[in-house]
Amino acid sequence: MASHRKERPAEEGRLIETDVLVVGGGPAAGWAALSAAEAGARVVLADKGYHGTSGATAPSNTGTWCVPPGEGRAASVEQRFKRTAGLADRRWMLRAADQAYENLQKLVEWGYPFPSEEDGSLYIANLRGPDYMRFLRQRVQKAGVTILDHHPILELLGDDDRVAGAAGLARRNGASFQVLAGAVVLATGGCAFFERILGGTGLTGDGYLFAAEAGASLSGMEFTGKYTLAPHGSSLNKGLPFRWATFYGADGEVLRNARGEPVTNGIGGGERQVAEALLAGPVYARLDLAEPAMQDWLRRGQPNCFQPYERMGINPFTDLFRVDLKYEGTVRGTGGIRIVSSDCGTGIAGLYAAGDAASREYVTGGISGGGAINASWAIASGWWAGHGAARHAHRRQGRDGSRLRPLGTTGLRGTAGPAVDLAAAARTVHDEIAPLDKSYWRTSATLEASGRVLEDLWSRLNEAPTATGIERLQAREVAAVTASARWTVAAAALRTESRGVHRRRDFPGESDAQASRIIVSGLDRVTAVRETLALETAQEG
């Protein structure tokens, strides 16, 4: 295998040719690049940040859905399926568990420093984000992949029947570049909708916009109502310690549920009570249910979770501290680019999706896959997409690229309309999608009101003058988040029930008639339709 090629200095109009282009820098991107390289493809990985440190995994400590082969795997799938609100697919869940376990074994073979159990066996079910991503980058380099750090992609390139590359800019100086490729894998992560969460700064739904501009659809965008508790004023959306919390109102009294019991476990049964209380005023917490041994385990296993407390001079196990619910959108929600084939194809020739850029409904259904499921999905889908892209690229060798055209629209090719304050636009879209009374609970009235604001913003972004230089990146990020919010609102309006992390105050019950996925598509005109989906239980008779 060829040695890793160092990035050349950025120059205007640089052209790169390759077999497979991977867009993104998280674990799904790394696995896709490794997979495509293993299949014999030349691979370029273009990351908006620095591959190995950007994205939600790098600052995290995440488990995996690690189930050894055998009867226990089917049982694990069945147990998990019961919690997916009826929208997952057992076959996809099983193959994801299979592939993730196989690739965890690859990490063992490659020498990843997994910790040892007391009996000397390796504990492979947990991945410390910084170590994991650093190791994955090293493997990607060793595989001969060309890594373009700080080279955000702005749009795809294609013709009437395929995607065959992308164009972007170098953050160092704003210079434009193009990558011509036989196939493209979108592994750009989810959309945090400009919420301030750990690792979420660059997660602006770019891949969703790229895919839609190429003609692909999205699915599961209504399942974005995922929030996580965090210390007030911090970006730390790591909720595990709140499993051992008791919650208090502004008056210092313990919050109680309808049965008069203290509200505890803020990442489980107590979350809704905490959310309701936050609508009325400040809420406080204390991790007073953690025994000393558990306190020690939490500090050692989740060290970054305690840095905000240390900066504030708080001992969270004994002191009261104010909390917020941080909106996580599709980072720990479910929605993303619709997958239509076993190799994570999008239905557009030459275009594949993996990780949080793809809809995770096949493995999570209508609930969050945050943590273990999403981590294993990133591994498995990245591997499948890389192989699929490599096979497609090999089939397309020698095809004429002269008919390729840029596919980007809003934020790149404007008109003579008035300029848009992009920072203000970012605040507008965030304020229509992140508040608890707009996405934790939804109603027809709030969805219609947000829809009007977002449609107006989209029109103004379309009419704004074309951005230039490095400003093109911000313009595209705002366009991508706005588009993602519009798709979310359209899907949420069509799903007139409460299912999973989609909660409707005006339709509080779950409807068997709506046990199907919702597909959204379109740019200037968004459409949402129900996908015909026979329930697996019905198929089984």
Alpha-helix runs per DSSP H in 82-213: 90-110, 129-142, 206-213
pLDDT digits (tens, 9 = 90+) for 157-198: 999 889 999 999 999 999 999 999 999 999 999 999 999 888
End-to-end CA distance of the chain: 51
Q: What is the pLDDT of residue 380?
A: 97
**Which residue has better confidence, 202 or 401?**
202
Most confident stretch, 47-61, 172-186, 520-534:
172-186
Q: What is the pLDDT of residue 157?
A: 97
**Three-state SS at 500:** coil
pLDDT-derived band at 58 (thresholds 50, 70, 90) equals: confident
Alpha-helix runs per DSSP H in 8-61: 27-38
Which DSSP letter does residue 459 get? Answer: H
Mean pLDDT of 292-316: 84
pLDDT digits (tens, 9 = 90+) for 259-289: 889 998 888 778 999 999 999 999 999 999 9
Which residues pair with residue 405 across a beta bridge? Answer: 158
- What lies within 8 Å, CB to CB, of 292 at 6+ separation is none
pLDDT tops 50 at residue 469: yes
Q: What is the pLDDT of residue 177?
A: 96
Tokens (6 digits) for 370: 């945050």
Residue with tokens 């997958």: 339
Instruction: Look at 167-171, 253-257, 347-351 and tell me which has the smallest mean pLDDT.
Output: 253-257
Q: What is the pLDDT of residue 62?
A: 83
**Which residue has better confidence, 68 or 520?**
520
Give the distance between the most distant pair of CA atoms in the chain: 71
Q: Quote helix, strand, coil % in the chain, to nearest 5.
A: 35, 20, 45
pLDDT tops 60 at residue 3: no
Mean pLDDT of 321-338: 94
Average pLDDT, the chain: 91
Mean pLDDT of 72-96: 93
Q: What is the pLDDT of residue 270?
A: 87
Dist. CA 260–CA 263, nearest whole Å: 9
**Which residue has better confidence, 430 or 309?**
430
Instruction: Look at 62-71, 343-352, 458-467 and tell me which has the smallest mean pLDDT.
Output: 62-71
Backbone angles phi, psi at 395, to 5 degrees: -70, -30
Contact criterion met (CB below 8 Å) for 96 and 154? no
pLDDT tops 90 at residue 12: no
pLDDT tops 70 at residue 516: yes
Q: What is the pLDDT of residue 398?
A: 59
Q: Give the residue among 351, 35, 44, 5 at the shortest CA–CA distance from 179.
A: 44
Rounded (10°) angle between helices 27-38 and 372-395: 40
Q: What is the pLDDT of residue 119?
A: 80
**Which residue has better confidence, 271 or 12?**
271
Instruction: Look at 281-285, 413-417, 489-493, 504-508 and tell me which has the smallest mean pLDDT.
Output: 413-417
Q: What is the pLDDT of residue 237?
A: 80
Dist. CA 89–CA 109, nearest whole Å: 31
Tokens (6 digits) for 409: 């629209």
What is the rounded (10 degree) CA torsion for 153, 155, 161, 164? Answer: -30
pLDDT tops 80 at residue 5: no
Query: pTM score, two decimals?
Result: 0.93
pLDDT tops 70 at residue 241: yes
What stretch of H or E contains 46? strand 43-46
pLDDT tops 80 at residue 536: no
What are the chain's domains?
A: 14-224+330-406 (3.50.50.60), 227-327 (3.90.700)
Q: What is the pLDDT of residue 9?
A: 52
pLDDT-derived band at 338 (thresholds 50, 70, 90) equals: very high
Rounded (10°) angle between helices 372-395 and 90-110: 90
Q: What is the pLDDT of residue 84?
A: 93
Mean pLDDT of 328-356: 96
pLDDT tops 60 at residue 4: no
Tokens (6 digits) for 464: 């704004």
DSSP strand pairing (43-46 vs 146-148): parallel
Sign of the Cα torsion 392, 483, 159, 470 reads negative
What is the rounded (10 degree) CA torsion for 312, 316, 321, 323? Answer: 100
Q: What is the pLDDT of residue 401?
A: 61
Tokens (6 digits) for 424: 């203000």
Q: What is the pLDDT of residue 61?
A: 79
- For residue 359, the tally of other CB atoms under 10 A from its CB is 25
Mean pLDDT of 378-392: 98
Q: Give the residue among 278, 284, 200, 282 at the shortest CA–CA distance from 242.
A: 284
What is the rounded (10 degree) CA torsion for 481, 484, 486, 491? Answer: -160
Dist. CA 411–CA 471, nearest whole Å: 10
